[in-house]
Structure formats: structure tokens, C-alpha cells
A = this chain, B = another copy of it.
Amino acid sequence: MKQDLRVKKTKKAIRHALLRLVDKKTFARISVSDICDEAEINRGTFYLHYTDKFDLLEKIQQELLDHLWMIVTTRMTEKINVLTEKPDTLKIFATELFHYLDQEADLFYMLLVNTVDPSFHNRLKGLIQKNMERLSHPAEEPVSFHVDYVMAYVTSAIVGMLQHWLANGRKIPPEEMALLVVKINLNGPMKMMSGE
């Protein structure tokens, strides 16, 4: 499953070119030609690897989401109610997640902060939700009336905080961010606004 060195090199060049371009103009205004000029590769080479610029973006996204899901499923093994009883475990896990986000911050910034593709937000929310469902007990009977709305609320809120974190230069360290996310979800936002 190893890749030819040349392939690795051009794919890397293409990604970095895209990252640079996305700072200058909207993804919608970026052409395949732009990307190839910036990456200093032949345009034909681009089409050897991707069908178009959307395909390129799609593959970047899928890779990030796959990695996130891998972290989540291999490291977050206990059920959700056990986790809320053991906030330390939860915090350790959340920290690990934020470290990955920090590591791939350039790409996440492009996808979540720059005006690139709205669907990534939704896919990320989907991942969070899938994970919450995976961790909740199946026999979690009565539940509130509009669970789906609460889900939409929580997942969007988390992605929103992530976006804010990335947009503001990730000044808060991963550990603190993780704690903040956990706390605000447990207490609710209003309680956070007034007192500590």
C-alpha cells in the first residue's frame, strides 16, 4: 500500500498550493489552473489524481473525518453515562481530540473558517452525533420530547466553538478547550454567562 515518492510529492504540493490560495480568494473563485500554477505542476498531472477541484476537497475532508473517527472509536470506549460520572476520563479524551485538531489546524481552518464548503460543517456534526449515539445506552428509555433538536443544538454548538477556536489563532491550549467544551455542555450556556 505504499505510494510512489513522486505521487506523494505532487499531492503534497497540490494541498499546500490550495491552502495558500484559499487565504487569498474564495474556493469558488479558485481554478484548477490556479492550483497548478501555485503548485508548479502541470495541469495534466492534477487530473491524474483528482477529477476536479471538488474531488480534491472531498478527499482532504474524508481523510480528516476518517482520522477523527479513528481516534474517537479507539480511544473513547466507555459509555456516555459512565463518562459523565468520570469527568477526568472525558477530559483526557477531549484533550486528545483537540490535539489532533491542533496538529491539522491548517486544513481544519480552511474547511471550517475559510469560505470553502458548507457541507464539512454538517459532516463534522454528523460524526459527533454518530459518536454520541454510539456511546449512549440503547435502553436509555424515556428521553425528552425533541431529542433530535437537542442533538442539533449540541453538535452545532461544539462545531461553533471549534470554529471560534481556529479563527482566533487557537490561543487557548487543547486541555483548557476540552474542559471548556465539557463544562459548557454540562452547565448550559446561560449559567456560564452569569457566574463561573
Q: Using CB atoms and an 8 Å cutoff, list the residues of chain A in contact with chain B.
A: 28, 54, 84, 115-119, 121, 125, 142-150, 152-161, 163-165, 168, 172, 180, 184-196
Contact = CB atoms under 8 A, between A and B. Distances in A.
B180 A149 contact: yes
A187 B165 CA distance: 24
A153 B160 contact: yes
Top 8 closest pairs, chain A to chain B, by CB? A188-B188, A156-B160, A152-B164, A157-B157, A118-B118, A153-B157, A152-B160, A156-B156
Contacts of A144: 192-196
A149 B193 contact: no
A146 B180 contact: yes
Contact of A153 (B118, B161, B168): B161
Nearest to A27: B28
Contacts of A163: 152, 156
Contact of A152 (B119, B145, B148, B161): B161
Contacts of A188: 185-191
Given A144-B192, A156-B159, 19 more contacts: A115-B117, A117-B118, A118-B118, A144-B194, A144-B196, A147-B193, A149-B184, A150-B189, A152-B160, A152-B163, A152-B164, A153-B157, A153-B158, A156-B160, A157-B189, A160-B160, A186-B188, A186-B190, A188-B191
Contacts of A152: 160-161, 163-164
Contacts of A168: 148
A161 B156 contact: yes
Contacts of A180: 146, 149
A136 to B, nearest CB: 9
